[in-house]
Amino acid sequence: MAVIAESERLAIRDWAEADAEAALEIFGSADVARWLAPELGRVPNKTTMRLLLRAWIAAAENLVPPAGRWAIVSKTDGRVIGGLRLGLLPPFEEDFEIGWQLAPAFWGQGFATEASHALMRWAFATGTIDELYAVARPQNVRACATARRLGMEWVGETDKYYGLAMQVYRIRAAELDGAEQAHRKGA
């Protein structure tokens, strides 16, 4: 499994079918699934999670970087604690989105911000994109707060992406270093 990015506490790597149990703690959680884009509801069981992972792994072969889905792994114990996604927002023409999901047991520890910063650095280093977006339902205060901690600027609300009112945040490649420094200083 290829590690594409690392941070102090985390590694970002390809998903494996063997991750099904840990992935189910993320995507099988009603607290996580309620905020996911309509394309993915709550995963009901380990068998379904394994099939979904298999589909993500197969699809990865046809994606052009930086698009993809990855597992967030704790360097301390090798446990999968979350997932990350990079891909085009609907209508799938130009706006590139970053998305993060963590198992609820790992919320509030800075992992989403740390992993997302690592993935953003990797994505911008590919030279294929120069900005990333994050979208969240207005009621998803945790996701909106994470976007702000990532140094993303709120650019408005729209329903153009998923047919839902979504808060839209954006960061440009040139802004990432400053955003990471500000986050480390606690700004």
Q: What is the pLDDT of residues 55-74, one digit of tens each?
A: 999 999 999 889 999 999 99
Please give the pLDDT value at position 39: 62
Alpha-carbon separation of residue 14 from 7, 95, 157 (angstroms): 16, 23, 32
Residue 8 phi, psi (nearest 5): -60, -45
Q: What integer pLDDT is reported at residue 172 of this predicted model?
A: 96
Flag whether pLDDT at 156 surpasses 60: yes
Q: Which long-range contacts (CB under 8 A, 24 or more apart) does 42-51 make?
A: 46/20, 46/21, 49/20, 49/21, 49/23, 49/24, 50/17, 50/20
Average pLDDT, the chain: 93
Mean pLDDT value across residues 99-105: 97
The mean per-residue pLDDT over the stretch 158-170 comes to 92
The model's pTM is 0.93
